[in-house]
Amino acid sequence: MNFNITTDKLSEIKSDLEIIIVIDGDLKHKFIQDKKLLKKAGFKAGQDEVCLLLEKNRLYVGSETLKGVGIRSAVATALRSLLGKKYKTVKIATYLSHPKCTASLRAAVEGVVLGAYTFTTYKSKKIKSRIKNIQISTEGYGDNYEVSLEAMARAVHNGDIAGSATNFTRDIVNTTPDDCYPEIMANIAEDLAKNSSLKCKILKPKELRKEKMETLLAVARASRHKPRVIHLAHKPKDPVAVISLVGKGLTYDSGGLSLKPADYMVGMKSDKSGGSAVLGIMKAISEMNLPVEVHGFVGAVENMIGGDAYKPDDVLVAKNGKTIEIRNTDAEGRLVLADTLCYAQQEVKADYLFDFATLTGACVVGVGHYTSGVMGNADEPKDLVVNLAAQAGELATKLDFNRHLKKTIKSEIADVCNISNTRYGGAITAGQFLAEFIDEDHKDKWAHIDIAGPAFVEHAWAENPHGASGAGVRMMLRLIEKIARTAKTD
């Protein structure tokens, strides 16, 4: 899809269709040319409400606000409504929430890319967006915009990269477990490196044993697909900061010997969402060429059943030497992350360390399908995630650790237990388990992001389709961009 910014008025631009966003139900705005027809159609311009006037070649969509959170969702919904239709060129005005800020423009571009997404790999009849060109006029919905063409071009460029990286992540998550297993995730990472400035290192079982990553290896033991640990690195000259990202890449999770009920196994291809997000973020970081050194680590494993499966009552030794009592083999993601986090900290001394995981159903129970839970030992990294998630149009909230819940993962026979002795507070106790594998150097630089809720939802919502959403990609891009900007101004 091609984006073009033009100083031509909307009336001067030739296109198959014009998209008009109606802000806060204001059907009296000068941009609204079809007031009578819209009234006749019963169009109220609620958030994401769409009205296509075929005879006018105009598509109206409502947004409650000029801010990015509303614009992104509205534009994505508009694009989704055009899937399978024959429109190839679209024109749209510039919508800014502030005369000097291009955030809403970037959100609109992200909305175009995200809304045009389809996953049709397994469909015999493929319905896709036919739109090839988006003409963005500098003619504004509001008055007195003071942004330069250069700033607008940068917003469009970054919005396109962020949306495309999110869709790249969605594709990996949506791919079935028979077609995406640890070796395939490693191949994806290697292909990324071949086509970019990224550096890639893959650890196979022999190297994993050498690194004493025994908890990760235990989870992988019963699968015919051997595990991989992926390390992608973006190393610009004179970086302003160093950030490590760690992702849970469970390409499929049966629950192991603590077998999931049948209904709970459906959708477990999504258990690689954290690792997939890390791959998507690294893709975008390399394309933006940000002046921040970023390392992406993925623990890619399949958790299956068999005669060689690890068992409840086993005691495993993690890479940092801590012993773990296994009481449930379906609490496997935290075991994979434990070793991968230790490896990441060994390889890189980072200014910030973030991990992404579809870690607990408890997080979904606690905050719903659409929100990520953010945990850690210190407020600064957690606040960074929550604040920048909001700017990116993702929902995230802090779930604070407390000493009383920490007692529930105490083991009588090992250093720590892999599940809590209570059914309550499961997202937090999983986070506190991970904290056992964060070293002193990174203790206050780390945040754990549980994306179990938003990563995979079986209905469309806002800018997200059925299935994978690419949760975590846009929020982390905004966070890394902010760190880059802040360092430049210091």
**pLDDT tens-digit readout, 59-90:** 999 999 999 999 999 999 999 999 999 999 99
Average pLDDT over residues 35-42: 96
Phi and psi for 374 in degrees, rounded to 5? -115, 125
DSSP state, 11?
G
pLDDT at residue 84, rounded to an integer: 93
Average pLDDT over residues 20-44: 95
Residue 473's Cα: distance from chain center in Å? 3
Which residue is associated with the tokens 């003071």? 146
Using one digit for the tens of pLDDT, what is the confidence trace for 131-151? Answer: 999 999 999 998 778 999 999
How many percent of the chain have pLDDT more than 90? 97
Phi and psi for 441 in degrees, rounded to 5? -65, -30
pLDDT at residue 334, rounded to an integer: 98
Q: Is the overall model pTM greater than 0.85, yes or no?
A: yes
Question: Three-state DSSP class for 310?
Answer: coil
Which residue is associated with the tokens 């920490």? 406
Residue 390, pLDDT above cutoff 70: yes
pLDDT at residue 487, rounded to an integer: 76
Residue 488 — pLDDT band, cuts 50, 70, 90? low
Residue 430, pLDDT above cutoff 80: yes
Average pLDDT over residues 8-36: 96
Those residues with Cβ within 8 angstroms of residue 315's Cβ, 6 or more apart along the chain or in another chain:
323, 324, 325, 326, 413, 414
Using one digit for the tens of pLDDT, what is the confidence trace for 252-266? Answer: 999 999 999 999 999
Using one digit for the tens of pLDDT, what is the confidence trace for 166-185? Answer: 999 999 999 999 999 999 99
Residue 194, pLDDT above cutoff 80: yes
pLDDT at residue 142, rounded to an integer: 84
Using one digit for the tens of pLDDT, what is the confidence trace for 326-361? Answer: 999 999 999 999 999 999 999 999 999 999 999 999
CA distance 210 to 314: 21
Residue 490 — pLDDT band, cuts 50, 70, 90? low
Residue 15's Cα: distance from chain center in Å? 33
pLDDT at residue 143, rounded to an integer: 77
Those residues with Cβ within 8 angstroms of residue 42's Cβ, 6 or more apart along the chain or in another chain:
none
Residue 443, pLDDT above cutoff 70: yes
How many percent of the chain have pLDDT more than 70? 99
CA dihedral 23, 24, 25, 27 (to 10 degrees): -40
Taken in order of first residue, the domains within the chain and their CATH numbers are: 2-147 (3.40.220.10), 167-489 (3.40.630.10)
Structure tokens at 464: 């997200």
Phi and psi for 66 in degrees, rounded to 5? -80, -10
Select from 408, 437, 481 the least CA-distant residue to 165.
481
Residue 6 — pLDDT band, cuts 50, 70, 90? very high
Residue 250 — pLDDT band, cuts 50, 70, 90? very high
Q: Which residues are known catalytic residues?
A: 260, 334
Average per-residue pLDDT in the chain?
97
Residue 486, pLDDT above cutoff 90: no
Select from 21, 131, 161, 191 the least CA-distant residue to 478.
161
